[in-house]
A and B are shown apart, each in its own frame.
Chain A
Amino acid sequence: MAVQFSLPDSKSVSQPPSTLAYIVDRTFFFAAAAGALAIIVLVVYILWEIGGQALPAIGRHGASFLVNTRWDVQNASFGILPQIWGTLYSSLLALLIGGFIGVTIAIFLTQDFLPPAIATAFRTLIEMLAAIPSVVFGLWGIFVVIPFIRPAANWLHETVGFIPLFGTSLSGPGMLPAVIVLAIMILPTVAAISQDAIGLVPYKIKEAAYGMGTTRWEAILKVILPTASGGISSALVLGFGRALGETMALAMLIGNANQISLSLFSPANTLASLLASNFPEAGQVERQALMYAALVLLAITLVVNVIGTLILVWTSRKMAKA
């Protein structure tokens, strides 16, 4: 059935596919298609399930849920503006720190600054960071990071407290310790993918840049990084996504206070942390509100990923033009 026509010359190098090869090919195709389809079905199912459970809360609170600032179980009045703010603020700051360090590490490890053996060892070490459980990061934050940054934070508050960023003193849990730990947690993701992206820049391009008389830094900043920018921005988007959804470490470090403050040293709250803290003992009404909050978190993640993809498309188009 598979053999549509046969070549007269049996010594020909190319052979028509055998029935077995055909079956293997079809099976593989269907398996792959089923796998891809399953992912879509799964995402739709999760949305359906969460959306269905959130529906009563959506009906009850409507859009005011997004702008209210109180999470009041007693009076069944719920709002998640402080959590949305905290989620975005902490993730953006973490991306700023973790992204910068991650990309710097990627350059350092790929551009022959180190002997290859040491570079590989470094790389493995950074990837090992990704294997540390979130709870351990949280504990490390409480017992190491907070005492370590407290003197500096309080000195900043006393000397330049008029700047809103340093508007309050740091007592314990708060935005800054959470951001620092979050930055370290997204570092492996950003570093690993950026390294791959930079590694994909053809050697010829680098040689050509040197050939035109650029210095090493000119080659890195003006030739290699722009060429790899697509991969690097997807690394940043993935890192941001990770930061948005991080739960346990943040629940332990951010202070879980439902307030909006620019200060790095005030306690805040995030959506994921709200879910983790309140789910186990939530009654029916609160559970529905939490499902609504989960839906909002999903929507934020989706929007971030779409923006990331758009940036990717835009930069690659610009690259193609240049």
Chain B
Amino acid sequence: MKRKLIAMMATMFALAIQTPQANAADLRLIGSGASFPFPIYSAWFKDFSKKTPGVTVDYQAKGSGAGIQDLINKTVDFAASDAAMTPAEIAKVVDGVVLLPMTAGEIVLAYNLPGQPKNLKLPRDVYPDIFLGKITRWNDPRITAANPELKLPDLPITVVRRSDSSGTTFVFTKHLSAISPAFKAQVGTGTNVQWPQSDKIVAAPKNDGVTATVKQTPGAIGYIEYGYAKLTKADIALLQNKAGKYVAAGGTGGAAALAGAKLPADLIAWVEDPEQPEAYPIVTFTWLLFYGKQDPAKAEVLRKLVAYGLTDGQQIADSMGYIPFPPNVAETVRAAAVKIQ
């Protein structure tokens, strides 16, 4: 007992002496923000910390809005957001902000129908109306017409939406507003919007909450990030794109959609309604947000982090349910990273 105690004290003493030295060489970077890319970011940061001696990167998935707040309040070294940043928010950051798209993902419509019919097809004039509460039953003629090979039940459609404000909602409503004037007029775009009042529109917290509710509710449909649907093996609908083709998520449709994206100088681009014939319709970039000016040592590591994400990082994107960047996009982002000083 006594010996243990001495050993413990000795260790503590040794640690106490060592820490200041270790600190001098150690660089700890703290980030916070979006939960949508959290799985891939945590894999990146873990691997990057391991490969770069003396550097640790910590990331907290608090949500896009919280990440932007943290960046404005200067409590983090970098942040992440699915909704990029508004000009008003950018103006609040004295040292300037560098927004870099780092990965991209797809939002899918997961559904739960008795008998698990696969490959439900949803035309582009139909799914906005489902989320507007205008189409209320699964055997509605407009749904059955697109799916002659499926036997759709006479069951009410329960729409599951996010209860918290979220970048996923922002991207999804932006897409719906782009393809449906009625949706744009009635609901609009935002991280937290006014959905129609209905008994059949329920809300659940976070991506996992929506996934669980859809899985547990016969007749439910909800929008979630593709990775969550992949993980839980939820049935997801084929969506009709602008060219009129029905495309499944998770294939090459995401990369096709991104290939058509033109990144402007500020690198904030929305792929609201991709035109490529093979494109999956609901895709989005997600951004890392950096300060324009900071401690040079930190800036160098942050640039390395971006470079890692654009090279090694893109290799694992596909397996984790994200879309690897086409080479031209990766090159544009890499060139923009020099603005982190």
What is the interface of chain A, defined by CB distance below 8 A to chain B?
Answer: 70-74, 139, 142-143, 146-147, 168-169, 171-174, 251-252, 255-259, 261, 263, 265-267, 273, 276-278, 280-283, 286
Contact = CB atoms under 8 A, between A and B. Distances in A.
Given A73-B165, A143-B212, A171-B200, 5 more contacts: A74-B194, A172-B160, A172-B213, A277-B163, A281-B165
B65 A73 contact: no
B217 A281 contact: no
Max chain A C-beta neighbours (<10 A), residue from B66, B166, B205, B219: B205
25 contacts: A72-B194, A73-B191, A74-B190, A142-B212, A143-B212, A146-B217, A168-B199, A171-B217, A171-B220, A172-B213, A173-B217, A174-B202, A255-B203, A257-B197, A257-B203, A263-B199, A276-B205, A277-B203, A278-B164, A280-B62, A280-B66, A280-B164, A282-B65, A282-B165, A286-B165
Max chain B C-beta neighbours (<10 A), residue from A263, A267, A277, A286: A277
Interface residues of B, number: 34
Contacts of A281: 63-66, 164-166, 191-192
A255 B165 CA distance: 15
A19 B264 CA distance: 82
B284 interface: no
Contact of A74 (B188, B209, B213): B188
Interface in B191-216: 191-194, 197-205, 209, 212-213, 216
A280 B65 contact: yes
B240 interface: no
A135 B65 CA distance: 24
Given A251-B163, A256-B163, A74 B193 contact: yes
A59 B35 CA distance: 34
A280 B167 CA distance: 12
Contacts of B66: 280-281
B205 A73 contact: no
A280 B63 contact: yes
B158 interface: yes
B158 A171 contact: yes
Contact of A267 (B194, B199, B205): B199
Nearest to B189: A74
B201 A257 contact: yes
Contacts of B202: 171-174, 255-257, 267
Given A256-B163, A277-B205, A281-B191, A171 B219 contact: yes
Nearest to A259: B197
Contacts of B164: 277-278, 280-281
Max chain B C-beta neighbours (<10 A), residue from A139, A172, A278: A172
A143 B216 contact: yes
A256 B204 contact: yes
B156 interface: yes
Nearest to A74: B190
Contacts of A74: 188, 190, 192-194
A289 B213 CA distance: 28
A251 B198 CA distance: 18
Contacts of B216: 142-143, 146-147, 172
A187 B204 CA distance: 26
A287 B67 CA distance: 15
A238 to B, nearest CB: 27
Contacts of A276: 205
Chain A to chain B: the 3 pairs with minimum beta-carbon distance, closest first: A281-B65, A172-B217, A256-B203
Contacts of B156: 169, 171
Nearest to A266: B199
B320 to A, nearest CB: 24
Given A257-B201, A261-B199, A252 B209 contact: yes
A204 B197 CA distance: 60
A74 B189 CA distance: 9
Contacts of B163: 251, 256, 273, 277
Contacts of A168: 199
Interface string B102-136: 00000000000000000000000000000000000
